[in-house]
Amino acid sequence: MNPFEFQTVLFNFHDVILLMTAMQCLFFGTLLYVTNTNRIKSTLFLAAFLFSHALIPANELMMWGAEFKHQVRYEWPGLYFIPEIAYYLDGALLFLCIKSLVFRDFSLKKADILHLLPLVVYIAFISATFYSHSVEQRLGMLHSESFVYSAGYVSLELFCKGLRVFYAIACFVLLSKYKNLLQNTNSNIEKAHINWLKALVIGFMLVMLSETLLAGVKVINLFDSFGSGVFMYIGLTGNYTSFVLVNLLVFTAIRHFVIFEQVINEEANKKPIDDQFVNPEMAAVVDAAMLKSRAYMEPDITLDKLADSLSIIPRDLSMLINRHFGINFYEFINKYRIEEAKKMLVNPEHKNTTITDIYLAVGFNSKSVFYTFFKKFENVTPSQFRQNSG
């Protein structure tokens, strides 16, 4: 035999992509876990997500790999359907990762154990319908592929894949809510760059949608047969997209996770309205302190910093701003900045000062935000206000 000839191709190109995805997930998950010396919760969940996500391409190789599936059937038949538990974990882990990243006061609750319920259902199902049979019967079910196309299996698969889409949507909603919550604690929300994270969540959502579509086609296939090519093309699209997303997720996460601006989960910390937070006297004290200290001119002033300078508990200051002034912290600070900008615009000493220099001087970091707030409060642009005052 020619030593350069191979009788069997264990992995084709599509299988190599799956193998690389699994290896990348394992490598980066280990890297994140080992380097996370401070045990940051969001990083731990991200590592757990990558570990679970590594099982998905491994499962696809075992189930559908060109030649690898045959080797697994003969050498490791007891491993079948075990890596599939990842489909019941990765969606919840991604959601918990985003939640722990966004909320500073995040902690696991007893109710979070419900995230494991679908996994329990899957284990019970696979134990009763597959592992309850003898090894010979299981091999027969694998070779004929009768089990993976059975009504019970494809129905549970559709439920599982749909649940993952639900988790991805929940992640996106959480990120959309995050920007609003950030306005309660920060005066400069433009520095919170979350578009990269939204894009990644949408990417994983699309992968999960394609897998849900594939599961749905299998259910329809019970009643109206499709060609195997349909399954292959939908599956390959998801595999290649997942490979790209894993790379993007890890590299962007390493760069941005450590500097992510967290917020407080207001829904988890609500308490009854107290009349002291609708208090004109207390509001007047805060207003006088603001005008005296001009703390609003600090570009990155936060609720915590302002509360510390005023010797007020941050939560109490937040309630006062929300309930007495009827606005959030972001609007509260920028309202003072606009008043300061107006003084500079009409001051003869600043007649040659550009509007750009003025908005930077009063604490704004963004021209668009400055113009938006100015028009909101004055109904004219800064230039028009200066001209009208002249």
276 and 255 inside one domain:
no
Q: Is 107 exposed, middle or buried (0-12, 13-18, 19+ CB in 10 A)?
A: exposed
Residues 101 and 216 in one domain: yes
Provide the token pair at 203: 């990417």
Q: How confident is the model at residue 332 (pLDDT cuts 50, 70, 90)?
A: very high
Contact 321, 313 (CB under 8 A): no
pLDDT at 43: 86
Please report whether residue 120 resides in a domain.
yes
CATH number at residue 313: 1.10.10.60
Nearest alpha carbon to residue 260 among 368, 100, 90, 109: 100
Both structure tokens of 123: 């284990």
Q: Write the pLDDT tens digit of every residue in 162-185.
A: 999 999 999 999 988 887 788 888
Whether residue 346 lies inside any domain: the answer is yes
**Which of 58-62, 127-131, 233-237, 361-365 shows the lowest mean pLDDT across its residues?**
233-237
Same domain, 252 and 330: no
Question: Do 206 and 124 sit in the same domain of this protein?
Answer: yes
Query: Does 260 lie in the same domain as 279?
Result: no
Give tens-digit pLDDT for 104-130. Answer: 888 899 999 999 999 999 999 999 999
Average of pLDDT values for 78-99? Answer: 91
Burial class (CB in 10 A: 0-12, 13-18, 19+), 39: exposed
257 lies in the same domain as 295 = no
Q: Is 311 left (phi over 0), alpha (psi -120 to 50) or beta?
A: left
Structural domain tally of the chain?
Answer: 2
What is the pLDDT at residue 231? 55
Confidence (pLDDT) at 356: 93
The CA distance from 180 to 381, in Å, is: 25
> Which tokens in the block code for residue 213?
């579509």
Domain that residue 62 falls in: 13-265
pLDDT of 66 strictly over 70: no
What average pLDDT score do residues 83-103 get? 92
Write down which residue in 241, 265, 289 finishes a domain: 265
Cite the DSSP H helix spans in 130-150. Answer: 135-144
How many residues make up the chain in this entry? Answer: 390
Q: How confident is the model at residue 9 (pLDDT cuts 50, 70, 90)?
A: very low
pLDDT band at 355 (very low <50, low <70, confident <90, very high): very high
- Is residue 237 domain-resident? yes
Q: Regarding predicted confidence, which is higher, 233 or 308?
A: 308
224 pLDDT tier (thresholds 50, 70, 90): low
Split at pLDDT 50, 70, 90, the class of 215 is confident
Residue 297 lies in a domain: yes
Cα–Cα distance between 204 and 30 in angstroms, integer?
21
Mean confidence (pLDDT) of the chain: 82
Same domain flag for 201 and 338: no
Q: Looking at the structure, do residues 136 and 252 belong to the same domain, yes or no?
A: yes
- Shared domain for 139 and 284, answered yes or no, is no
Instruction: Tell me how crowded residue 387 is: count the other CB atoms within 10 A of its CB.
Output: 11
Residue that is written with structure tokens 């703390």 in the block = 295
Residue 6 belongs to some domain of the structure: no
**pLDDT at residue 12 is higher than 70:** no
pLDDT for the residue numbered 5: 44
Residue 239 lies in a domain: yes
Q: Check whether residue 258 and residue 276 sit in a common domain.
A: no
Q: How far apart are CA 179 and CA 197, in angstroms?
A: 13
Which one is predicted more confidently, 10 or 19?
A: 19
Compute CA 266 distance to the chain's CA centroid, rounded to the nearest angstrom. 18
Give the per-residue pLDDT at 127: 94
| 3-class DSSP assignment, residue 186 | strand
For residue 3, being part of any structural domain is answered with no
Domain edge (last residue) among 222, 242, 265: 265
pTM here is 0.77
Asked if pLDDT for residue 328 goes beyond 50, the answer is yes
Both tokens assigned to 357:
């220099």
Do 249 and 277 have their domain in common? no
Residue 324 lies in a domain: yes
Q: What are phi and psi of 186, to 5 degrees?
A: -125, 145
- Helices 195-221 and 228-256: crossing angle, nearest 10°? 160
Single out the residue of 326, 337, 265 nearest to residue 301, CA to CA.
337
Mean pLDDT is lowest, of 34-43, 200-209, 215-224, 261-270, for 261-270
Given 265, 289, 313, the domain boundary residue is: 265
Amino acid at 385: F
Give the CA radius of gyration of the chain.
28
- Domain check: are 181 and 281 in the same one? no
SS3 365: coil
Instruction: List the CATH number of the domain containing 171.
Output: 1.20.1070
Q: In the prediction, which pLDDT does 121 show?
A: 96
